[in-house]
Chains A and B, each alone.
Chain A
């Protein structure tokens, strides 16, 4: 996608697409960047409304409560700061050893000024690390050199973001490294127009920025479905056998081992791995069990499907079983025929066109940057285990005479508690991830969750569930807003992993108990339709609320009868 195409996209009709409001503040000329962002968002199916502040107005826009920035009410603010401008203030500074620290404090000042007035995400561009060569290579060793201070500043910014939960990095510096200085920057454009980025760099910067916006909107990848022969190892296990497939030292083996190592890292980050292979199951599983050079083992795989059905059908089965959106799945297969079949049958899925040479697989996949995220919590590491337990439950279900017998056999125990600091990251993450079981689809950042937890106006509940197969962890979030005569369910979402076990019933009972305990006799729930949450359209009506016909539902102390559930507290 080149800049001209992105520019043309800006004129296309984006009405009907989900919209997002983005403010752009920079100490350089940002008009072209604004166009690139808008055009790229259109490519990704987002209607981006951009407020592009005038040149170098960051201080005025962030500090003045009546500024255009705050009037615009953005959902995210991009801070685009350029090294050229930084160099000017470095040259003017008298205490150069403290330059990075001082500049860092100034930038944190912007973050905090913005977040003291509005609760938004801040996308902080990193500084491009170009040296002025005044000290030559010695610059790295010399504390007062520009290069040393510049590198330190980027480090301080990254570190500062760890305690400023709403601030996310966009690593523009790494884009420059990938493209090379000559392609990334045009001296003439900066001299004439204060543009730090070339037209060639803008689409790349826009793509990375919009990738993060998508993650903030809850659109990111959760699962990789893997082919086996010639994708995870060289050769065909059914023909070449255990001794013949290429892994490790054998033939092209290292390319496959490296890919597996990377996939395992993704798994540890919380991406679910599944296998979808045209093979006999026992044959396909053997390398995972017994091959000494396999990095991936069976316990890394959440769901293993090996049969002779077509792959599109198998992928649909996987998607239904693990219960995530098709657009959050990536399918890896070396065979163009299989890829095209899957793309044709399942348009929402992402199918990278792997290069022919397995040596290039990994670099190609890294280049696609498919796994953008805006959060990471300790629960992510255990996700694979949870899904494996889930599939164990699915197997158990088939053995029981009735569904209730099955549920009783699970020995489920839930707990309900108000939000606490330890769980803020997971709660925020769930609000960002959940699309299907989500009544009002309000996305919260960690800082906003903390605010709500401490706000007298709200009552909050999070729910955990465990059973004899394992711990689901924190799976549902409820935010109740105190209104004059009623308690309003401001948000209710639940992980689809625990659907149809009586958890919905348990939660609604708990909401009503909480209302009564706090002196409310009426609870009102609302359903806000999105393209993905049709499954909960009538959930309140099903659980004892009266449908008022305008997508709101109400239950009162007089009429509410607690729902039956087999979950114990």
Chain B
């Protein structure tokens, strides 16, 4: 899967989960860049991404991902 395609689909999910049409994520986006991105929404986000890409994150990835770029690496590797 192309990296750009992953970003495109990820953006949709982020907008849906945070209920904000103006969100655009990049390689460097972290949880501190999005106001509502707390541990609770993180769980929602992870579940939605797993659903969309039909893959599973490992537990250590869920708690260890540093930015959206890393998230995309995992999605490309696992799906």
Chain A residues engaging chain B, CB cutoff 8 angstroms: 3-4, 7-8, 11, 31-32, 186, 188-189, 191-193, 195, 198-200
Q: Which of B2-10, B27-35, B38-46, B69-77 contacts A (4 or more CB under 8 A)?
A: B38-46
Q: Which residues of B contact A4 (CB under 8 A)?
A: 16-17, 44, 48
Bound CA–CA A200/B16 (angstroms): 16
Bound CA–CA A189/B43 (angstroms): 7
Within 8 Å by CB of B59, from A3, A32, A192, lies A192
Give 15 CB contacts A-B under 8 Å.
Answer: A4-B16, A4-B44, A4-B48, A7-B17, A32-B43, A188-B56, A188-B58, A189-B47, A192-B43, A192-B59, A192-B62, A195-B43, A198-B47, A199-B48, A200-B47
Bound CA–CA A198/B62 (angstroms): 15
A8 contacts B19, CB within 8 Å?
A: yes
Residue in chain B with minimal CB distance to A187: B59
Judge whether B57 is part of the interface by a CB distance below 8 angstroms: yes
A3 contacts B44, CB within 8 Å?
A: yes
Bound CA–CA A8/B48 (angstroms): 14
Main secondary structure of the interface of B (DSSP, over half): helix
B40 contacts A32, CB within 8 Å?
A: yes
Q: Which residues of B contact A191 (CB under 8 A)?
A: 59
Judge whether B63 is part of the interface by a CB distance below 8 angstroms: yes
Distance in angstroms from B6 CB to nearest chain A CB is: 19
Bound CA–CA A195/B56 (angstroms): 17
Q: Which residues of A contact B39 (CB under 8 A)?
A: 193
Main secondary structure of the interface of A (DSSP, over half): helix
B47 contacts A186, CB within 8 Å?
A: yes
Bound CA–CA A8/B58 (angstroms): 28
Bound CA–CA A8/B63 (angstroms): 25
Given contacts A188-B62, A192-B63, A199-B47, contact A31 B40 (CB under 8 A): yes
B40 contacts A199, CB within 8 Å?
A: no
Q: Which residues of B contact A195 (CB under 8 A)?
A: 43
A7 contacts B59, CB within 8 Å?
A: no
Distance in angstroms from A42 CB to nearest chain B CB is: 14
Q: Which residues of B contact A198 (CB under 8 A)?
A: 47
Distance in angstroms from A206 CB to nearest chain B CB is: 15
A193 contacts B19, CB within 8 Å?
A: no
Q: Which residues of B contact A193 (CB under 8 A)?
A: 39-40, 43
Q: Which residues of A contact B62 (CB under 8 A)?
A: 188, 192
Residue in chain A with minimal CB distance to B13: A4
Given contacts A32-B40, A199-B44, A200-B51, 13 further A-B contacts (CB under 8 A): A3-B47, A4-B16, A7-B19, A8-B19, A11-B19, A32-B44, A188-B56, A189-B43, A192-B43, A192-B63, A193-B43, A195-B43, A199-B48
Distance in angstroms from B33 CB to nearest chain A CB is: 21
Residue in chain A with minimal CB distance to B50: A186
List of 5 A-B pairs having minimum Cβ-Cβ separation, nearest first: A199-B47, A188-B59, A193-B43, A31-B40, A4-B16
Residue with the highest number of chain A CB atoms closer than 10 Å, among B39, B40, B47 = B47
Q: Which residues of B contact A200 (CB under 8 A)?
A: 47, 51
Q: Which residues of A contact B57 (CB under 8 A)?
A: 188
Bound CA–CA A199/B52 (angstroms): 13
Bound CA–CA A4/B17 (angstroms): 6
Bound CA–CA A465/B62 (angstroms): 66
Bound CA–CA A186/B43 (angstroms): 11
Bound CA–CA A333/B17 (angstroms): 39
Residue in chain A with minimal CB distance to B17: A4
What mask results when residues 12 to 25 of chain B are scored 1 for a CB within 8 Å of chain A, else 0?
00001101000000
Bound CA–CA A44/B51 (angstroms): 26
Q: Which residues of A contact B63 (CB under 8 A)?
A: 192
Bound CA–CA A118/B68 (angstroms): 48
Bound CA–CA A192/B63 (angstroms): 8
A7 contacts B44, CB within 8 Å?
A: yes
Q: Which residues of B contact A11 (CB under 8 A)?
A: 19
Distance in angstroms from A473 CB to nearest chain B CB is: 51
Q: Which residues of B contact A3 (CB under 8 A)?
A: 44, 47
Residue with the highest number of chain A CB atoms closer than 10 Å, among B43, B51, B56, B63 = B43
Bound CA–CA A3/B13 (angstroms): 13
Bound CA–CA A282/B45 (angstroms): 61
Residue in chain B with minimal CB distance to A4: B16
Distance in angstroms from B20 CB to nearest chain A CB is: 11
Residue with the highest number of chain B CB atoms closer than 10 Å, among A186, A188, A191 = A188
Q: Which residues of B contact A199 (CB under 8 A)?
A: 43-44, 47-48
